[in-house]
Amino acid sequence: MPTLLPIDVLLIAACAWLAIGLAGVLAPRNFFFISKVLFPLGAAVAVLAGLTSLSYLGGGPQTAVLAIGLPDLPFHLRLDNLTAVFVLLVGFASAGISVFAAGYFRKGEGTAPGLMCLQYHVFLASMQLVLLADDAYAFMVAWEVMALSSFFLVTTDHRHAEIRRAGYLYLLIAHVGAIAILLSFGVMTAGSGDYTFAGMRAQPHTPFWASVAWLLALFGFGAKAGLLPVHVWLPEAHPAAPSPVSAMMSGVMLKTAIYGLLRVSFDLVGTPLWWWGVAAMAVGLATALFGVLYSTVQSDMKRLLAYSSIENIGLLAVALGLTLIFHAYRMEALAALAMTALLYHCLAHAGFKSLLFLCTGSVLHATKERSLGKLGGLIHRMPWVAWLALAGVIASAGLPPLSGFVSEWLLLQAFLFSPGLPHAWLNMVVPVAAAVVALVAALAGFAMVKFYGIVFLGQMREEALKDAHDAGPWERAGLAWLGLLTLALGVLPTWVIGRIDAATTQLLGTGLSDKVREHGWWMLAPISPDRASYEPLIFLVTIVAAVLLGRQLVHRLYHGRTRRSPAWDCGYVFQGPRAQDTAEGFSQPIRRIFEPMFRMERHFPTLRDEKPYYSVKVEDHFWHGLYLPLARLVNGISALITGLQGGRIAIYLLYSFLTLILLLLVARP
C-alpha cells in the first residue's frame, strides 16, 4: 500500500471541500443539513489540513502532477515549507470561521444556502490550490477561481445596489491585478515557454527584467492585498459581504497575496535588488499610515476593520521591504528576523482580524445595525462576544501579552539593526521609518478603543438594543477557537517560531530557531538575551496574579462592599445615551490633527437654521483624485472606439478582410 504523503492529504482536503460544496448544491433546501453538518465537516477538514502542514513543517519538498485541464498542460503541484506555513494559516483560521458560519447563516437571506455552501467551499479549496500550485497555469486558474468564488460570496445580498457595486469594484480590481500577475509570470519565463515554477527559477534574469517582473508582481499581488493605491475595493467589499466571508477574505485571502509576493521575491525571480526593499517599504509605510488614519474616522464598524486590515497589510509590506533590504546585502540572519516578523504577523492577523470580523457578525445579527452611531452597551447583552472581542482588540492594538505584540516587537527589533547596513543613505533613513511604524501602532490602539468602546461599552444608543441576544453555541465556539489562537500565538512565540522557521530557512538559507531554542521555551530572545528578550508568559502570569491576589488582599484586609447608584458625572443631570461621544466625535482629534489626509465635506448648523444639523463625510483622496478621472478617461476612449461599431455586418466583414490582409503582409514566414 502506498504511503499517504502530506501533499496527498492536502489534495484530499481540497477535494473534500469541493465534495462538501457539491453536497450542499444537491440538497439546497435542507438548511439544517447544510449548516449543522456540512459547515462543521468543512471545519474538520480545515483542521486536518492545518495539522498536516504543521506536522510536515521542516520536511523536504514534495511534488505531484494532476493531469487535469488542457492536454499537455497538467497541473504541477508542490508542497514546501513556505506553502505549509500558509496552509497552516488557512486551515486553522478557516476552521474557526466555518464553525462560526454553522451558526451564522439564516434562512431566507440572499443566496440560497446550498449555493452559498458551494461558493464558500470552492473558495477554500481554491486558496489551498493557489498555495500548492507549482506552475503559472495552475496558479492562475486557482487564483481566478478564488477571485470569482469570493466575488459571488461578497454579492450574497445582491438585492442591494451598493452591494452589487462593491462586488463589481472588487472584481474589476482583482482582474487588473490578475493581469499584472500573469504578465509578471510571463516576464519570468523569459521566453522559454516553460511555465512551471521550476523553469522560472532556472532562468537567468537581467536586473532590468527581474525588476520589471517584481514590480508587476508587487502591483498584482498588491491589488489583492490592498496596498496603496489599489486598496479601494477593500473598504467596500468587506462591509458588503456576510461576516464569515469578510473574516475569510480579510484574515485569510489577503495572506495568499502576501504568499505570492514572498514566492516571487525570494524564490522565483532570483537575487533581489536592494531598492525593491525600499520600494516595498515606502508603499507599505504609506499604506499602513493611510489605513490606520482612515480606520480611526470610520462610522461603520466593518469599514473600520477593513481599513485596519489595510494598515496591517501595510505593516506586512514594510516587513517584506526590510527583509528584502537585508537579504540584498546578504545579511541573512537579520533578514531571517524580519521575515519571521512578517510570517508571524500573517498568522497573528489571520487570528485576530477573523475574530473581530466574526464579532461584528454576531453584533449585526443581534442588532441589525452596522453603524457605530446606533450601537453601544452590548457588553451587558452579549458578554461572550464582548469579552472575546476584547482579546481581538488588544491583539490588534499590538499590546502584550497577545499575538499582535510579538510580531510588532520582532519588527521593531529588526529595524534596530538597520544602522548596520553597508549603505550610507539607507542606514539613516530606515531607522526613521521605524518612527512611522511606532506611530501606526499607537494609532491602531486609538482605532481599537473607538471600536470597542462605542460598540460594547457605554449606554445603549438605541432602544432596540435592549433586545439584543448573545451569540449562539456554534458562533461562540468559532469565536473561542480564534481567541485561543490569538492567546497561543501571544504566549508561545518560541514554539511558533520554531515551527515557521522552516519557511524562513528555506527562503533565506538561515533561520532563527537555534537561537530561539537556546534560552528555553518561555523566553523569546531572537539574537541574545543581552540584546533583547521578551517573556510573554511572565507578563500574563504577573498580570493575572496581580488581579487575583490584589482582589483577594483588598477584600480580606478591608471589605468587598459595593453599592449601586446613578452615575455621578460631575453632578450633571442629563445623562442619556446622547451625552456620550458619537463615533464621529470620538475621532474628531484625528480629523483635526491630520486634516490634509482626509477629503472632508462638513456641514455646520447656523444660528437661523430651522432644523440645525451637523454632518461630516470623510472620503478617500484616491477615489476622487485617481479613480474617477481614470474612469472618465476609459469612458472617453471607449466612446471614441464605438465609432467603429456601425452595426452593419458588411462593415465587420470588411474589418476581418483588412485584418487578414494586414496579417498576411506582416506575418510572412
Residues 236-295, interacting with other proteins (CB under 8 A): none
Q: Which residue from 161, 557, 639, 667 is in contact with other proteins, where contact means CB under 8 A?
A: 557
Q: Which is nearer to other proteins, 442 or 633 (CB)?
A: 442
Q: Which residue from 106, 201, 551, 603 is in contact with other proteins, where contact means CB under 8 A?
A: 551
Question: In the window 78-137, what residues touch other proteins (CB under 8 A)?
Answer: none
DSSP label of 191:
T
Q: Which is nearer to other proteins, 547 or 660 (CB)?
A: 547
Residue type, 290: F
Bridge partners, residue 441, by sequence: none
Question: Is 371 near other proteins (CB under 8 A)?
Answer: no
Question: Is 416 near other proteins (CB under 8 A)?
Answer: yes
Q: Which is nearer to other proteins, 244 or 398 (CB)?
A: 398
Q: How far is the CB of 566 from other proteins (least distance, A)?
A: 6
Question: Is 65 near other proteins (CB under 8 A)?
Answer: no
Q: Which residue from 39, 75, 214, 452 is in contact with other proteins, where contact means CB under 8 A?
A: 452
**Residue 526 near residue 504 (C-beta atoms within 8 A):** no
Question: Is 552 near other proteins (CB under 8 A)?
Answer: no
Spatial separation of the C-alpha atoms in residues 431 and 410, rounded to whole Å: 14
Question: Is 26 near other proteins (CB under 8 A)?
Answer: no
CB atoms under 10 Å from CB of 331, counted, come to 18
Q: How far is the CB of 621 from other proteins (least distance, A)?
A: 22
- Between the alpha carbon of residue 340 and those of residues 279, 290, 318, 528, the distances in Å are 20, 24, 13, 16
Helix (H) or strand (E) holding 31, with range, is helix 31-33
Q: How far is the CB of 220 from other proteins (least distance, A)?
A: 33
Bridge partners, residue 616, by sequence: 602
Question: In the window 376-415, what residues touch other proteins (CB under 8 A)?
Answer: 376-377, 379-380, 383, 386, 390, 393-394, 397-400, 405, 409, 412-413, 415
Q: Which residue has the cell 446606533?
A: 374
Here's the x/- map for other proteins, 568-597, by CB under 8 A: it reads as xxx-x--x-x-xxx---xx--x--xx----
DSSP character string of 366-430:
HHS--BGGG---TTTT-HHHHHHHHHHHHHHTT-TTSHHHHHHHHHHHHHHTGGGSS-TTHHHHH
Question: Is 59 near other proteins (CB under 8 A)?
Answer: no
Question: Is 554 near other proteins (CB under 8 A)?
Answer: yes
Q: Which is nearer to other proteins, 61 or 550 (CB)?
A: 550
Q: Which is nearer to other proteins, 248 or 444 (CB)?
A: 444
Question: In the window 424-443, what residues touch other proteins (CB under 8 A)?
Answer: 427-428, 431-432, 434-435, 438-439, 441-443
**Residue 575 near residue 567 (C-beta atoms within 8 A):** yes
Task: Give the HSE-up count for residue 474: Cα atoms under 13 Å, Cβ half-sphere.
Answer: 18
- Residue 55's contacts (CB-CB under 8 Å, 6 or more residues apart) are 6
Q: Which is nearer to other proteins, 59 or 445 (CB)?
A: 445
Q: Which residue from 138, 336, 448, 618 is in contact with other proteins, where contact means CB under 8 A?
A: 448
Spatial separation of the C-alpha atoms in residues 505 and 645, rounded to whole Å: 57
Q: Which residue has the cell 522565483?
A: 268
Q: Which is nearer to other proteins, 126 or 298 (CB)?
A: 298
Q: Which is nearer to other proteins, 347 or 437 (CB)?
A: 437
Question: Is 446 near other proteins (CB under 8 A)?
Answer: yes
Q: Which residue has the cell 524562513?
A: 504
Question: In the window 531-550, what residues touch other proteins (CB under 8 A)?
Answer: 531-535, 538-539, 542-547, 550
| Helical packing angle, 254-263 and 81-104, nearest 10° | 170
Q: How far is the CB of 363 from other proteins (least distance, A)?
A: 16
Q: How far is the CB of 260 from other proteins (least distance, A)?
A: 31
- Between the alpha carbon of residue 645 and those of residues 69, 338, 390, 640, the distances in Å are 35, 55, 59, 10
Instruction: Give backbone dihedrals phi and psi of 619, rounded to 5 degrees, phi first.
Output: -125, 165
How many residues touch other proteins under the rule CB under 8 A: the total is 86
Residues in the chain: 669
Helix segments in 133-264, DSSP class H: 136-154, 161-189, 197-202, 207-225, 234-240, 243-247, 254-263
Q: Which is nearer to other proteins, 121 or 349 (CB)?
A: 349
Q: Which is nearer to other proteins, 559 or 648 (CB)?
A: 559
Q: How far is the CB of 539 from other proteins (least distance, A)?
A: 7
Q: Which is nearer to other proteins, 102 or 448 (CB)?
A: 448
Q: Which is nearer to other proteins, 438 or 488 (CB)?
A: 438
Instruction: Give backbone dihedrals phi and psi of 615, rounded to 5 degrees, phi first.
Output: -140, 150
Spatial separation of the C-alpha atoms in residues 372 and 291, rounded to whole Å: 18
Q: Which residue from 371, 453, 477, 622 is in contact with other proteins, where contact means CB under 8 A?
A: 453
Sign, CA dihedral 310-431-500-508, equals positive
Q: How far is the CB of 550 from other proteins (least distance, A)?
A: 5
Q: What angle do CA 472, 475, 480 make, to 5 degrees?
A: 120
Question: In the window 619-658, what residues touch other proteins (CB under 8 A)?
Answer: none
Q: Which residue from 112, 140, 148, 457 is in contact with other proteins, where contact means CB under 8 A?
A: 457
Q: Which of 502, 558, 398, 647 is nearest to 88 (CA)?
A: 502
Q: Which residue from 54, 172, 182, 523 is in contact with other proteins, where contact means CB under 8 A?
A: 523
Q: Which is nearer to other proteins, 176 or 538 (CB)?
A: 538
**Residue 154 near residue 146 (C-beta atoms within 8 A):** no
